[in-house]
Structure 1
Amino acid sequence: MLEYVNIDYFILLTALLLIIGVLTTKFSTRLGVPALVLFLLVGMVMGSDGLGFIPFNNPKIAQLVGIVALVVILFEGGLQTKWSSVKVVAKPSLSLATLGVLLTTIVVAVAAKLIFDISWLEGFLFGAIVGSTDAAAIFAVLKGQNIRDKLSSILEAESGTNDPMAVFLTLALIELLTVENSSYFLLLGSFFWQMGIGLALGYLFGRIASFAINRINLDSSGLYPIFALAFALLTYSLTDLVGASGLLAVYVAALVIGNRDLTYRHSIFRFNEGFAWMMQILMFIILGLLVFPAQFLSFDIIVKGFLLSMILIFIARPIAVFLSTFKMGFNVKEKVFLSWAGLKGAVPIVLATFPMTMGVENSQLFFNVVFFVVLTSALIQGSTISIIAEKLGLNGPEKVEAPHSLELVSIGKANAEIIEFVVPLKNKLVGQALKDIEFPNDVLISAIIRKGDLVTPHGETIIQPDDILYILVAKQKIKILKSMINEVS
């Protein structure tokens, strides 16, 4: 009977935590605070040192949940990222993801050495753990913001590709701290292996997944999103098994999948969006459970952690941004914004569990300080990103999000699809009546959404900017149609 009670108790708590997490996102928007902060606070309140509802002190489980959640979040972020936007900013993004992380690590290492009176290797470990911009935080904070596409694309690409550098530096420094006679040469070779093989396998698995999704004929449309997510987990695990960066491979695979024509595209995207939110809620709550406020909120941690946070935000990140984007065509305002938007989130907290599971001295200090740094970054930077962008004049046009998703029920078996297209301001379709547009045969405008209202299309209907068109098209005509509707006026 006790076992059944424990199971019921666990299910009840999981349900309550998910409900609280979802409702928290609503409050975070009104309060102007990133949702991840509130998720962490929920975990702290529910944990052993709070109300005591969920006694939890297992860094290995927290690490496992964190890694799985990061795989899902990176996969969803990659699916939503347009390759056309990423390739334009590939150079600065990769520079920030590698040189930027290294420079941040060095500056933070010096600060940590002086503030906490620890060894140089431990100082560099501090720097490596907090050196990367967090994908989960960036994707969540930037979603729906009208920041210039160039800048938001850089931040999304940087956060999606800088985890390998942070993970490599963290594990390499832990090895140097715990293993005698470690080889610097082998560690350097390991980095190039992780990056190179991670990129290659990510691209390969992305192509395989796209081909498999389009060719397989499943009985239920609900299986396609699961099939796609399975490829994300497969990509991470197989890449990690050969010693390469699984997180980088997942992001690259998602980029490939998301930028190809897919069967049940909307179903795959919407499922992964919802699942990524669920994993984000669970991950941050569990990481919050791992914190003991009595230790974390001690006077010493608050003072020293705050000082380290200020150095990271106002010195380390700006130095990294200004040097790693040198002579890349960015003005001072853009560099200032990129410096401010270097959010910390789940990755540093997950990385801070590695010293705990590997028996590194001062590992609890690492975790408590890193947790404080993440909270400070999220509260100060995360809640002011849109304000800083506005003050610097870096806002772009209001982003139009398609509020509806239509899809043929039999799309996997029928020889047709419905294409959703948001009409840009500078597009050849703008100002034209439907009867005057020479669409290919087997193409039909089935619906138009204009400012949230349904417009029934007919020959005299004039296309306006920001209209959302739902176009029924034969599969063999999709490429011709897309080429036509993407023409700029």
Structure 2
Amino acid sequence: MAQALLTTLLIIFVAGTLGGKLAARLHIPDVVVYVVMGMLIGPPGFGIIDIDPRSALYQVILLAGASFILFHGGMVTHLATLRRVWLSISLLSTVGVVVTAFVVALAASLIFHVPWLTGLLLGAIVASTDPAALVPIFQKVPVRSRIAHTVVSESAFTDATGAILTTVVLGVTAAGGIHPAAIGWRFVQLALGGILIGGVIGWVTAFLISENDRGLLREFTPMAVVLSVLGSYLVAEWLHTSGFMSVFTAGLIVGNARSFRLTILEKEEHAAHAFIDAVGLKFRMLIFVLLGSQVDVSALTVYGWRAVLVAAVFMFVARPLTVLCSLLPDRAAKWRRNEILFFFWTRETGVIAAALAGMVSGSGAAYGKLISAVVFVIILATLLVQASTTPRVARRLGLLEPRT
């Protein structure tokens, strides 16, 4: 069994490496090619690999991969930028999540003739953006700093609020109702709790690898990063708060250590970025090759064109409405028309939605197979259509910064 597992991992990494080279040649985001490679070598294609999405291995890869990628997203986000667009991010991750969920719910209930709560559950699952897809794109495409940091931060915060909304709707579906006060407390518990825990662990990590006399782990910076990622996620989850929010916050503190009067030497800073970047690449391969391998062809045959129609509403109706409701009220940010149009097109969905869909499917919720099928169609649509064209859209809108 161990050898079979290692063989599977070897095949995934070989396919991912070849896919990465092909993506570089075609000048498209690597995650898009990884998904296609997964479809080819998984059950939808030649059936060379087959990992049960309910297995512990699959869940570990999803959670650990998303955590490392989110941590890196926090590291490359500047606090000064967040201060200027905090209202936009707040609205995108609260009002925006609700708008997306309700628009998708309306579309699903009309197209599939399912109960409203089932449609709302689907909308809640796909309401969060995907850091695993977004962070790599903005690493390679020099989009204006303010826009890139806003989109990456949105992905971190919507992970928490999307998970909250999914949990609440699932609870309403199972129990028949939930008190509004419980919803508010759950939000505070998940979001603010994750920020607090991640802030503490991130500061301790930055302190231990800084240049001060007590920088005990300077020589072990990569290991300190691993401890920070796993520690911030697990402690937050043990205390019933948002692990993803905690990880992003920890990365934000480490990446902005100077703002907290801690100086990380250039050598250690480079080591941290190089390590997290290398680990993130491996997890990107694993996550998106596995996502491609999980496409249920039989379900797509049944729900096919209707699922594509819901995906179109999600991309071309829900996202623009979400952006307009979230960015226009923020007068201080002074968003320009071309920037708002770019936000319309930047709506990749992936790891978190897949994990939430797996959770809902495992709970035995009604219409679970339909929900899983539509979620994967939306994931594939946003990755294959939007992620692959993001660099071109940014260039056409004049949002690329000159390379130094």
Find the counterpart in structure 2 of residue 30 from structure 1: 25
Q: 1:400-429: per-residue Cα shift (whole Å, max 9, x none)? A: 3xxxxxxxxxxxxxxxxxxxxxxxxxxxxx
Indicate if the aligned counterparts of 1:63 and 1:353 stay in contact, CA closer than 8 A.
no
Q: Give the TM-score taking structure 2 as reference length.
A: 0.91
SS in 2 for 1:383: helix
Taking the aligned partners of 2:37 and 2:319, their CA distance within structure 1 comes to 29
Find the counterpart in structure 1 of residue 324 from structure 2: 322
Taking the aligned partners of 2:17 and 2:38, their CA distance within structure 1 comes to 14
Indicate if the aligned counterparts of 1:40 and 1:285 stay in contact, CA closer than 8 A.
yes
Q: 1:380 to 1:26 in 2, by over 3 A?
A: same
Taking the aligned partners of 1:392 and 1:189, their CA distance within structure 2 comes to 41
The answer as to 2:16 corresponding to 1:12 is no
Q: Shift of the alpha carbon at 1:165? A: 0.6
The answer as to 2:394 corresponding to 1:382 is no
The answer as to 2:260 corresponding to 1:258 is no
| Deviating 4+ runs (over 6 angstroms) | none
Identity %: 27
**The 10-residue stretch of structure 1 (85-94 or 306-315) with the greater mean CA deviation from structure 2:** 85-94
Taking the aligned partners of 1:188 and 1:68, their CA distance within structure 2 comes to 28
The answer as to 2:239 corresponding to 1:242 is yes
Select 2:276's aligned residue among 247, 272, 275.
Answer: 272
SS in 2 for 1:162: helix
Select 1:295's aligned residue among 299, 303, 321.
Answer: 299
Find the counterpart in structure 1 of residue 338 from structure 2: 333
Indicate if the aligned counterparts of 2:94 and 2:161 stay in contact, CA closer than 8 A.
yes
Normalized per residue, the structure richer in strand is 1
How many pairs are equivalent? 390
Taking the aligned partners of 2:291 and 2:384, their CA distance within structure 1 comes to 17
Indicate if the aligned counterparts of 2:53 and 2:358 stay in contact, CA closer than 8 A.
no
Indicate if the aligned counterparts of 2:209 and 2:221 stay in contact, CA closer than 8 A.
yes
The answer as to 2:155 corresponding to 1:159 is yes
**The 10-residue stretch of structure 1 (175-184 or 142-151) with the greater mean CA deviation from structure 2:** 175-184
Taking the aligned partners of 1:269 and 1:318, their CA distance within structure 2 comes to 34
Find the counterpart in structure 1 of residue 369 from structure 2: 364
Indicate if the aligned counterparts of 1:60 and 1:353 stay in contact, CA closer than 8 A.
no
Q: 1:64-98: per-residue Cα shift (whole Å, max 9, x none)? A: 32112111110111112222223222221222122
SS in 2 for 1:384: helix
The answer as to 2:134 corresponding to 1:143 is no
**The 10-residue stretch of structure 1 (193-202 or 247-256) with the greater mean CA deviation from structure 2:** 193-202
Q: 1:50 to 1:384 in 2, by over 3 A?
A: closer
Q: Shift of the alpha carbon at 1:216? A: 4.3
SS in 2 for 1:51: coil
AA paired with 1:19? Answer: V
Taking the aligned partners of 1:45 and 1:249, their CA distance within structure 2 comes to 35
Find the counterpart in structure 2 of residue 110 from structure 1: 106
Taking the aligned partners of 1:358 and 1:60, their CA distance within structure 2 comes to 15
Q: Shift of the alpha carbon at 1:294? A: 3.3
Q: What CA RMSD, in Å, does the superposition of the two structures yield over aligned residues?
A: 1.9
The answer as to 2:25 corresponding to 1:21 is no
AA paired with 1:205? Answer: I
Select 1:399's aligned residue among 388, 396, 403.
Answer: 403
Find the counterpart in structure 2 of residue 284 from structure 1: 288
Select 2:87's aligned residue among 85, 88, 91.
Answer: 91
Q: Shift of the alpha carbon at 1:386? A: 2.1
Q: Shift of the alpha carbon at 1:60? A: 4.5
**The 10-residue stretch of structure 1 (27-36 or 257-266) with the greater mean CA deviation from structure 2:** 27-36
Find the counterpart in structure 2 of residue 75 from structure 1: 71
Find the counterpart in structure 2 of residue 349 from structure 1: 354
In structure 2, the gaps of 5 or more residues are 258-262
Q: 1:217 to 1:241 in 2, by over 3 A?
A: closer
Between 1 and 2, higher relative CO (CA 8 Å, sep ≥ 6) is seen in 2
SS in 1 for 2:85: helix
Taking the aligned partners of 1:248 and 1:234, their CA distance within structure 2 comes to 13
Indicate if the aligned counterparts of 1:93 and 1:157 stay in contact, CA closer than 8 A.
yes
Q: Shift of the alpha carbon at 1:137? A: 1.1
Select 1:59's aligned residue among 54, 60, 63.
Answer: 54
SS in 1 for 2:403: coil
Normalized per residue, the structure richer in helix is 2
Q: 1:202-249: per-residue Cα shift (whole Å, max 9, x none)? A: 21111111112333445x94x321222111111111111111111111
SS in 2 for 1:59: coil
Q: 1:184 to 1:226 in 2, by over 3 A?
A: same
Taking the aligned partners of 2:197 and 2:255, their CA distance within structure 1 comes to 16
The answer as to 2:200 corresponding to 1:204 is yes
Find the counterpart in structure 2 of residue 422 from structure 1: none
Q: Give the TM-score taking structure 1 as reference length.
A: 0.76
**The 10-residue stretch of structure 1 (244-253 or 81-90) with the greater mean CA deviation from structure 2:** 81-90
The answer as to 2:130 corresponding to 1:134 is yes
Q: Which has the larger radius of gyration?
A: 1
Taking the aligned partners of 1:349 and 1:88, their CA distance within structure 2 comes to 32
Find the counterpart in structure 2 of residue 121 from structure 1: 117
Q: Shift of the alpha carbon at 1:180? A: 4.5
Matches within 5 A, 1:427-466: none
AA paired with 1:307? Answer: L
Q: Shift of the alpha carbon at 1:8? A: 2.9
AA paired with 1:281? Answer: M
In structure 1, the gaps of 5 or more residues are 1-5, 401-489
**The 10-residue stretch of structure 1 (133-142 or 39-48) with the greater mean CA deviation from structure 2:** 39-48
